[in-house]
Amino acid sequence: MSKQWTSLFMGCLTFGLAVAASRDSLVVQPQSRQLRVAGLAESSGWLGMSAYSKKSQKIYVHQVRYVHRGNLSETFSLGPDYSQGTYEMALWQTRVPERDCKTKCSWCKANGYHMEGLRAYTSGDLAP
């Protein structure tokens, strides 16, 4: 699997995602073994995180959490393999289960769901 294929945030671009002007926001504080994210969700949604190891394209992790409307504060723990790696963080409107996927996308086949309605996105490097 390539990093490009596994990317939580780019995996289903075939859905023509558009980002509307909103107050949704994400601010990430990357550390060596965790990502702390704070922000604002104008409505409930799904916070998705992907982390990639610097050591190998085969080492990656994806996590998705439901968040309520309002201020958000979440911490994602990471193992030592992710030191000096990279991350992506996004706030999504909807988590679509594989049974409801209209295109039967590769992300759904591998993970059982995909995300739609990108509302906020950020990415960067993890600390050593």
Q: What is the pLDDT of residues 50-71, one digit of tens each?
A: 999 998 888 899 999 999 999 9
Q: What is the pLDDT of residues 78-93, one digit of tens each?
A: 999 998 999 999 999 9
Query: Would you identify the CATH topology of the domain 3-15+23-125?
Result: Immunoglobulin-like (2.60.40)
Sorted by where each begins, the domain ranges of the chain are: 3-15+23-125
By three-state DSSP, how is residue 14 classified?
helix
Stated pTM of the model? 0.81
The alpha carbon of residue 116 and the mean position of all alpha carbons in its chain are separated, in whole angstroms, by: 11
